[in-house]
Structure 1
Amino acid sequence: MSELPLISVPASPQPYPNPRHWLHTLDTCASTNTWAHARADQLHHGDVIFTKQQTSGRGQHDRTWHSPSGVLTASFVLDNLNPNLLPGLSLAVGLAVIFAMEDLVPECRDMLRLKWPNDVWIDRQKLAGILCEASSGKTFGTRAVVGIGLNRCVDFAAAGLDARTIGNAVSLHSIASNVPDELCLLARLRHYLLELADMFSTADRPASKSGLAPLLPQLRRRDALIGCNVAIELASETICGEAAGIDGCGRLLVCLAGDRIQAFTSGRVRLI
């Protein structure tokens, strides 16, 4: 791990390593995250579950994740993580998605942004969503199953999904001249997620080099919400203000009336 983690490097011109030892390909699956949890003892650190047809995908706050044909849908298994660092994991995964995309689709460089806490945007349109779910076990410690749905080659209209249903999503094929194949994307995402797993692990290292801390400068540079008027929808109320960045714990900072700053650990965020 370098002192500057997750620095984009050109994708290797060499063929990707044989994925048979880490890739589990399913013809169809209700949810790759659910499949991974149900087979926890059979999976290992770095395993990837991939399906071309996910029928009951899940997003944050139990929302439905629509997975029409053309969505890259996969779950990545990361083991022996430090549970105290998990609150920042979704943001870090978002950054990993951005770096993987920029490696393989250079024309997207400096265009991709993070929408707190778990979306990747391009031009304020949703390109990818993330769902991290933690569990624990005797053999793998604290595990995160990281679900990623990336709109690779999707015809939303043909799938019967309108803009409101899909949350103003966009497909990569509509903005890129060359779309990477699925294996290339999976291998590159796995590469960066394994780097993250090292940073979020139980290994003894200075706080400045663990978890979200070393990634904060890059996260803040990619923050799609900073300076925007936002509404934070909570279980019992909606709070409005101006997004003021991300703190060291991965919380969204919002400037309220009277210049008071409030930090949010969860909530549905929309622009207003």
Structure 2
Amino acid sequence: MSSEALASRVELATVDSTNAEAFRQAPDLRGPLWILAGEQTAGKGRRARAWASPPGNFHASLVQRITEPPARLGLRSFVAALALYDAFQALTGLGAGFALKWPNDVLLNGGKLTGILLEASGQTLVIGIGVNLIAAPPAETLEPGAVAPVSLLAETGLRITPARFLDALAPAMEDWEARLRADGFAPLREAWLSRAARLGERIIARTGTETREGIFETIDHEGNLILRMSGGAIAIPAADVFF
């Protein structure tokens, strides 16, 4: 992706969902396109959960065409997480406090700051990103054991507009995407692990059918969570992680 292509963006005052709008824009796509909305009325997170989208927070989606196997498309969650980490550090100047939670969250001071949702249809990939820039949803709206949400404003005192945040995020996304295409997942895996939350500690990985508890050992070359349990290490491709 070129920086010229990534500079393309559509800014909307309100929309049902930036991911939904991204798919509506996809048939006329001429290059990667950002959809940035001031407010979402039907934002969603992973597993179709509702995502609170008040004005002042960041709600955006990047839509692009990528001709790769589905497993490779999933690696863009690491592209997005690393880019978010870089954007936060560039805008805040903070050297500590941020960490990456598998599979695709950014934490600040241990609280959940962002959410990432990947959706694909054919060769169209949409990366939806939500950031609690000024407000976080009440903790009581979360499922038991989930990481409590935080906002950038409450944790740092910094008020950053969605447009300014996208100005920092878009080039960071381009940089990590270029590294993935040129060098494969290995450098992204190394960078992600160096920023990982609870690496080497006991965590809980919960899918729709079962719950596993063990030591977060690493992620493998496909981005799977490697959890060491009493019977040995297992690879988990998708799960919700609890601390």
User: 1:145: how far off?
Assistant: 1.0
Kindly indicate whether residue 162 of structure 2 is the aligned counterpart of residue 179 of structure 1.
Answer: no
User: 1:75: how far off?
Assistant: 0.5
2:81 to 68, 75, 94: 94
Q: State whether residues 81 and 200 of structure 1, in contact with CA within 8 Å, keep that contact through their aligned partners in structure 2.
A: no
Kindly indicate whether residue 127 of structure 2 is the aligned counterpart of residue 146 of structure 1.
Answer: yes
User: 1:233: how far off?
Assistant: 1.3
User: 1:102: how far off?
Assistant: 0.7
Q: In structure 2, what is the Cα distance between the partners aligned to 1:149 and 1:228?
A: 27
What amino acid does structure 2 have at the position aligned with 1:198? A
* Structure 1 residues 162 and 184: CA distance shift in structure 2, 3 A: closer
**Partner residue of 2:37?**
51
Q: In structure 1, what is the Cα distance between the partners aligned to 2:67 and 2:127?
A: 12
Range moving further from structure 2, 93-102 or 241-250: 241-250
Q: State whether residues 227 and 242 of structure 1, in contact with CA within 8 Å, keep that contact through their aligned partners in structure 2.
A: yes
Query: Tell me, which stretches of 5 or more residues in structure 1 are unaligned?
Result: 2-16, 137-141
Q: Percent identity over the alignment?
A: 31
**Partner residue of 2:237?**
265
Q: State whether residues 72 and 150 of structure 1, in contact with CA within 8 Å, keep that contact through their aligned partners in structure 2.
A: yes
**For each residue in 1:169-196, what CA deviation from the matched residue of structure 2 results, as whole angstroms up to 9, or x when unmatched?**
1110112243333222112211122223
User: 1:242: how far off?
Assistant: 1.6
Across the aligned residues of Structure 1 and Structure 2, the Cα RMSD in angstroms comes to: 2.2
Q: In structure 1, what is the Cα distance between the partners aligned to 2:8 and 2:126?
A: 14
Q: In structure 2, what is the Cα distance between the partners aligned to 1:112 and 1:103?
A: 12
**Partner residue of 1:37?**
23
**Partner residue of 1:6?**
none
Q: State whether residues 23 and 63 of structure 2, in contact with CA within 8 Å, keep that contact through their aligned partners in structure 1.
A: no
Counterparts of residues 210-229 of structure 1 (less than 5 Å): 210=184, 212-229=185-202
Q: State whether residues 81 and 197 of structure 1, in contact with CA within 8 Å, keep that contact through their aligned partners in structure 2.
A: no
Query: Tell me, which stretches of 5 or more residues in structure 2 are unaligned?
Result: none
Kindly indicate whether residue 229 of structure 2 is the aligned counterpart of residue 256 of structure 1.
Answer: yes
Counterparts of residues 129-208 of structure 1 (less than 5 Å): 129-136=115-122, 142-154=123-135, 156=136, 161-166=137-142, 167-201=147-181
What amino acid does structure 2 have at the position aligned with 1:163? A
Counterparts of residues 43-82 of structure 1 (less than 5 Å): 43-82=29-68
**Partner residue of 2:99?**
113
Q: In structure 2, what is the Cα distance between the partners aligned to 1:213 and 1:97?
A: 19
Stretches of 4+ aligned residues off by more than 6 angstroms: none
User: 1:81: how far off?
Assistant: 4.7
Q: In structure 1, what is the Cα distance between the partners aligned to 2:177 and 2:190?
A: 19
**Partner residue of 1:246?**
219
User: 1:222: how far off?
Assistant: 0.8
User: 1:31: how far off?
Assistant: 0.7
* Structure 1 residues 28 and 197: CA distance shift in structure 2, 3 A: same
**For each residue in 1:56-100, what CA deviation from the matched residue of structure 2 results, as whole angstroms up to 9, or x when unmatched?**
111112222121233210001233353342232212210110001
What amino acid does structure 1 have at the position aligned with 2:196? D
Q: State whether residues 78 and 188 of structure 2, in contact with CA within 8 Å, keep that contact through their aligned partners in structure 1.
A: no
Task: Please give the TM-score of this superposition, normalised by the length of structure 1.
Answer: 0.79
Count the aligned residue pairs: 235
Range moving further from structure 2, 81-90 or 51-60: 81-90
Q: In structure 2, what is the Cα distance between the partners aligned to 1:79 and 1:187?
A: 21
Q: State whether residues 26 and 124 of structure 2, in contact with CA within 8 Å, keep that contact through their aligned partners in structure 1.
A: no
- Secondary structure at the aligned position of 2:170 is classed as helix
User: 1:41: how far off?
Assistant: 1.4
